[in-house]
Amino acid sequence: MKKVPLKIIAGKYKQKTIYSYSDGTRETSHLVRGAVFNMLFQVSGVGLDLFAGSGAYGFEALSRGLNQVYLNDIDKDAYQGLIANKTLLNADAVITNLDFDKAIEYFKNSEVTFDYIFLDPPYDMPISPIVESVSTLLKADGTIVCEVEKQSICQTSLSLQKERIHGIKKIIILKK
């Protein structure tokens, strides 16, 4: 199992190091994360990082202004890493270890809604059905951030706010 260090870019955890603990995850570079948060400007409220991996998106959002973040990953090593990173940062994070569709059902049943949802699924998963399913968890003015392969197409009923290419990745920002 690899242990890859990742820095939080800005906010209350600025320059703190978290780690990716799973061979099954793809880390998002600080350059791409920085670009995402520059596009979002300011974040507040409650967030969900559904395919969390190391939790880089969720912890970065928490560092920059979210009140609370929910982090989910099905991979056992990633899940253990999320717990370790939460402890390292002393972060207000709820961590679950569920398949993404079960996590969506869990949050629906818990009546939890989100201001921000971060989606960075495995590249072989089509993004459109995930976006449609998870959009039911968004608050009225909520935002979904997707990180996908640059050739991916996201067809959704949500409003496209921004779309940017970063190397082999595409960032898509959607509003309810």
Provide DSSP, 85-148: HHHHHT--EEEE---HHHHHHHHHHHT--EEEEEE---TTS-HHHHHHHHGGGEEEEEEEEEEE
Structurally, at CATH architecture level, domain 4-175 sits in 3-Layer(aba) Sandwich (3.40)
For residue 94, what are the β-bridge partners? Answer: 70
Structure tokens at 14: 């600025």
Structure tokens at 114: 């989100």
Q: CA 136, CA 104: separation in Å to the nearest integer? A: 9
- From first to last of its 176 residues, the chain has per-residue pLDDT tens of 678 889 999 999 999 999 998 776 767 777 888 788 889 988 999 999 999 999 999 999 999 999 999 999 999 999 999 999 999 999 999 999 999 999 999 999 999 999 999 999 998 999 999 999 999 999 999 999 999 999 999 999 999 999 999 999 999 999 99
Residue identified by tokens 């995850």 is: 25
Q: Which residues have CB under 8 Å from 149's CB, separation 6+?
A: 123, 168, 169, 170
Q: Which H helix or E strand runs over 20? A: strand 17-20
